[in-house]
Amino acid sequence: MGKIELIEIKQKLALRTYNDHKNQINCLDFAANKRSFISCSNETSWKLYDIQESKGAIMTCQAAHSDNIKQVMFMPKTSDIVISGSSDKFLKLWRIEDEITQVSQVRLNESIEKFILVNDNLLVVANGNLISLVQIDEAH
């Protein structure tokens, strides 16, 4: 089972433990507000947390992909735009409001393993034996 622990390092004290994932956790990212974070695992859904909430994920993006999600990331300076990449070869852009809605998607030739944002709207994506450059337009 995938487990996330928030730990106070100076006192070596576990503040919160979340057991919402059934499988290995692949990625975790904090929002610009430093109160929210997202996580993904070898599952097809990703989860949103509020560090003030001790009961677990406050939202789940069910069936976000058709295969394991390898990475999720908040767009810089935001707490409401998320990018996810999966073994299903799709990069997807999501907006978080009262619910999670898909804004756009792009299909690459190979499984997505990792991506980094190199400026406000350009992703470098490791997918299979390729490195792809993907322009992100969060205005959709």
| pLDDT confidence of residue 140 | 46
Domains in the chain: boundaries: 27-135
**Contact criterion met (CB below 8 Å) for 93 and 61:** no
**Contact criterion met (CB below 8 Å) for 47 and 86:** no
The predicted model scores a pTM of 0.91
- Residue-level pLDDT, tens digit, the chain, 140 residues: 789 988 889 988 888 899 999 999 999 999 999 999 999 999 999 999 999 888 899 999 999 999 999 999 999 888 899 999 999 999 999 999 999 999 999 999 999 999 999 988 899 999 989 999 999 875 54
**Contact criterion met (CB below 8 Å) for 93 and 85:** no
Fold assignment, 27-135: Methylamine Dehydrogenase; Chain H (2.130.10)
Burial class (CB in 10 A: 0-12, 13-18, 19+), 68: middle
